[in-house]
Each structure stands twice: as structure tokens, then as C-alpha cells.
Structure 1
Amino acid sequence: MTASAPTVLATSGGHRAGTRARVQFDALVYHAVELAGVTGRRPRVMYIGTAIGDAEHFTTRMTEAARIAGFDLTPLHLFPMPNVENIEAAVLAQDVVWVMGGSVANLLAVWRVHGLDAIMRRAWRSGVVLSGVSAGSLCWFQGGATDSYGPELRPVTNGLGLLPYGNGVHYDVDPGRRPLIHRLVADGTFTEAHCTDDGVGLVYRGTELVEAVAEVPGKGAYRVVRRAEDGTAVEERIEPRRLPAAPD
């Protein structure tokens, strides 16, 4: 066991243009490793790119980012078949699972075909830190707002449900996400939703939101709840703690 309790870091960030590579890890990925509490050895990080169809060019970029960061990276590919013999053993051997963005609807369907929904729950309970960006954030929740089905945002409601909330990602850069999340809370699809601007992450111990953290100044996190008096959605800003800058 690495983390002291089941831990999720759900983000709208974690990557940046690199000085020595096309992509390098930003502060949110380093914070996921910090949450795992690794000492005395190189952190073990699994990269999962299901949401972008296991695009090989991005796996290469993540491998290079991990080399620069000093992490041991294991990619998990599911196309055209799993690239490891025992998926559960490979996942449980990690300190951190980092899930790439893309289509959360496709991710959930493919994961369920391969039993990764149950494997991720066991990994979460065992102390593997579950993390990721965009689709890699939405997947841990009941659901949220997604463009998986086309340019017009639609709800996704069949997330893994480790966290009993809705989730809004890219909250400050995609103008359609805030109103859709508010509607989904107001109509009872989600009893509560937790949302992140780009560059912000939410830390959960068990199912409790314990902290918002940011790699970009001036950004926010948000809790959206339904007001009992009139059934409207009410949004509360959560001010994130600024993380130390990631090394170059």
C-alpha cells in the first residue's frame, strides 16, 4: 500500500509544453506522486491512453516526460489487445495511475469490456493513487459534461462512481460546461458536482473532497449544489492551494 487511504486526484491539467521534450509533466502529476508517499525508490506510474485510442505518439511523449521526471512509466494499452498478460497485477503494482483525456464514453465502454472498472476499484482501495486529466478525471465520478458524442456537450452518467458526485472539467475555457453542470444538478441527475478550471485538481481521501490544488495562478475549483428552496443550482468557489512549480 502506498497512499494511506483511497486517494483520487481529479484534474483539468498536469501537462505542459516542455523545454526538453514536446510534453513534460506539470505540478499536478508531481502532486499525484507526492500523494502516493513513495520514498527510497523511483515512483511507478501507469499511463492509460484509452480515451485517445492508445495513440502511440502520445504514449511516446508520456514515456519521455516520465524519463525527465525520474518516474518509471508503464503504459497500459487495450488496443488491439492488452499489452500486459495480467492487467490487475500490472495496475496494482503502481503507485499512481494517470489517465489521459479524450473520449470518456469510449474509455468507460472499453474498460468495462476488460474488467478495468472492478480493477480500478480494487486499486483505489489498496492505496494506488488514481488520477488523470479531463476524461481521466470524469471517469472516477458518477459522470459529468462531455463532448464524447459530438461537438455539442451532453451528459455522461455511467462513470465508475468511486466518487459520488458529478464532475465538470475545463470549467473556465469551455463556456458550455458550466450551464450544463448547473442543469444536471438542478434536475437531480447529480446531487452535487465538483468542477475544475484548467490547471486545477481536486484531492479526495475516500469519497471526501479534502483540498483543491493548482499549477496555474488565479484558477479556481467549484462545488455546485441544489438549493432546496427553489431547486436551482448554486455554485461555491473553492480557492486552490498553489503547488510548487514543476522542475524543468
Structure 2
Amino acid sequence: MTASEPTILATSGGHRVGDRTRVTFDALVHHAVDLSGVHGRRPRVMYVGTAIGDAEHFTARMAEAARVAGFDLTPLHLFPMPNLKDIEGAVLDQDVVWVMGGSVANLLAVWRVHGLDTILRSAWEAGVVLSGVSAGSICWFQGGPTDSFGPELRPLTNALGLLPYGNGVHYDSDKGRRPLVHRLVADGTLPVTHCTDDGVGLVYRGTELVEAVTETAGKGAYVVVREGDSAVEQRLEPRRLPVPRH
């Protein structure tokens, strides 16, 4: 079972502290699974932790979160070598690919070395839902502000480009991101840019933004466009997702 058309859920959320686990999947991860249309069996989710160097402790936390959620989790590690012999076959066998946050610049470089950029495009076209948080959101777009290069935010403009927009994550919690997005859109460094507060996700069918959703009340999504030499921001009110039941 795959989504009926290419689908991306780009987020600034998806994880929270569990009752008995360090990490549990919040509503955005569950929504990514719902978007895949899977039913009648356990959902297959691939966890990609490249952006944090495939940190084994976090892979273990994600495996525990998947167990609680009732998902079959396949981790894809690229350090020190790929842990899967047939990466493309494994990716195409998933319902959802969930990409962890961290360094989007390092993520892109390592993915390209291993051809994962091409594989993920094929998976997207085949209906595997692509999703993730922070770096795992920016990667699907043209680019966006990142702290990959140091504590001072800088623009990244060579992301995968499956979606023809810029992307701003953590829009409400990192005070430097909103003004930088506005500056980069105003000077043409970034195209029209779609942004998310923490806990918010953006659903794309093909390359069209069809809905904003949230796991946290009161949060927003935003579209920033260039008008003349300025940037203009429009707020989108996201639909509140139900709280997952485990």
C-alpha cells in the first residue's frame, strides 16, 4: 500500500517524551502513516538518522517508539557503511520514510555519496510518504535557513528540490529564523518559502501544498512571498490532529 500520489509531510515536530520511553511518536508521525493509506497490517516505517550521524542511542529510542506505536521500523544507517545491502529495495518497501533532524548540510552530502537522493525521488514518485523533522523537512525543498555551519544561521540552497519552495523550520522557537527567511525571500536567495512553528506539519500532494496540520494547539504555518524588494508573510491556520492512542 502506498499513497495515491507523491506525498510529503514536512514538519517541525513528531516526537515527544513517552510515559515509559524517552521518545514516543506524536501525532505528526502517525499522520504520515495515515497519509500512506496502509491498513490491514503493521505500517512499515524507515528511520533515517544521517543528520545526527546515525547515533545509535537515538536509533534505539526510535525503535522503542515504533514498538509502542505498533509500527515495523527499519533503520537506514550510512555510517560507517550502509547497513542494508539493497537500499533502494528497502526504501521502496516502506510506507513512510521518516528523516531525523540535525545537520541538513551533512545529510545531503552523505546521501549524494550513496545515491540516496535519487532513490528517495524514486520512492516519492512511487507513493512512499516522505516525512521528517527539521533537517528532515528542509531536505525535500530548495533549501532554507540552517545552523549546519555553526550557531549563526546561514542559507542552504542545494537541497533535494522535490518541492519548489524554500522551507523555514522552528519558526517560533528560534528567533533568528523568521527574519532570515524574510531577508532571503526579499533578496531572491530563496523562492516562495513555507514555514512551520514547532509541532506543525505541511502536507504536499505532488508539489502542491494541500494542508497544514498540527499536534500542538495555537501554532501556525506561514507562506512568505516576495513583493518588490520586500517579503510578505501570510499565516495559515493548521488543522489540529487527534492525540495518538497507544
The TM tier, using the shorter chain, reads over 0.9
- SS of equivalent residue, structure 2 residue 165: strand
Q: Which residue of 2 aligns with 1:90?
A: 90
Please list every run of at least 4 consecutive aligned residues from structure 1 whose deviation after the TM superposition is greater than 2 angstroms.
none
Instruction: Report the residue type matching 2:97 in the other structure.
Output: V
Which string of whole-angstrom CA distances, capped at 9 and with x for unpartnered residues, describes residues 147-189 of structure 1? Answer: 0000000000010000000000000000100011111111112
* Deviation at residue 36 of structure 1 after TM alignment: 0.1
| Residue pairs, 1:173-184, within 5 angstroms | 173-184=173-184
Relative to the length of structure 2, the TM-score reads 0.99
* Deviation at residue 246 of structure 1 after TM alignment: 1.6
Q: Which residue of 2 aligns with 1:48?
A: 48
* Deviation at residue 99 of structure 1 after TM alignment: 0.2
Q: Which residue of 2 aligns with 1:31?
A: 31
* Deviation at residue 247 of structure 1 after TM alignment: 2.0
Instruction: Report the residue type matching 2:216 in the other structure.
Output: V
Q: Which residue of 2 aligns with 1:121?
A: 121
| Residue pairs, 1:184-199, within 5 angstroms | 184-199=184-199
Residues 1:60 and 2:67 aligned together: no
Give the one of 233, 241, 244 matched to 1:243: 241
Percent of aligned pairs sharing the same letter: 80
* Deviation at residue 191 of structure 1 after TM alignment: 2.1
Q: Distance in 2 between matches of 1:88 and 1:164?
A: 24
Which string of whole-angstrom CA distances, capped at 9 and with x for unpartnered residues, describes residues 187-232 of structure 1? Answer: 11222000000000000000000000000000000000001xx320
Which string of whole-angstrom CA distances, capped at 9 and with x for unpartnered residues, describes residues 116-144 of structure 1? Answer: 11001000000000000000000000000
Which string of whole-angstrom CA distances, capped at 9 and with x for unpartnered residues, describes residues 46-68 of structure 1? Answer: 00000000000000000000000
- SS of equivalent residue, structure 1 residue 163: coil
Q: Which residue of 2 aligns with 1:140?
A: 140
Instruction: Report the residue type matching 1:82 in the other structure.
Output: P
Q: CA RMSD in A?
A: 0.6
* Deviation at residue 20 of structure 1 after TM alignment: 1.5
- SS of equivalent residue, structure 1 residue 149: coil
Q: Distance in 2 between matches of 1:243 and 1:11?
A: 13
Gaps of 5+ in 1: none
Q: How many residues align?
A: 246
Gaps of 5+ in 2: none
Give the one of 227, 230, 233 matched to 1:232: 230
- SS of equivalent residue, structure 2 residue 142: strand
Q: Which residue of 1 aligns with 2:4?
A: 4
| Residue pairs, 1:69-84, within 5 angstroms | 69-84=69-84
Q: Distance in 1 between matches of 2:42 and 2:52?
A: 27
Residues 1:22 and 2:44 aligned together: no
- SS of equivalent residue, structure 1 residue 90: helix
Instruction: Report the residue type matching 2:198 in the other structure.
Output: D
Residues 1:103 and 2:87 aligned together: no
Q: Distance in 2 between matches of 1:73 and 1:212?
A: 26
Relative to the length of structure 1, the TM-score reads 0.98
- SS of equivalent residue, structure 1 residue 141: coil
Which string of whole-angstrom CA distances, capped at 9 and with x for unpartnered residues, describes residues 16-56 of structure 1? Answer: 00001010000000000000000110000000000000000
Q: Distance in 2 between matches of 1:184 and 1:160?
A: 18
Q: Distance in 1 between matches of 2:149 and 2:30?
A: 32
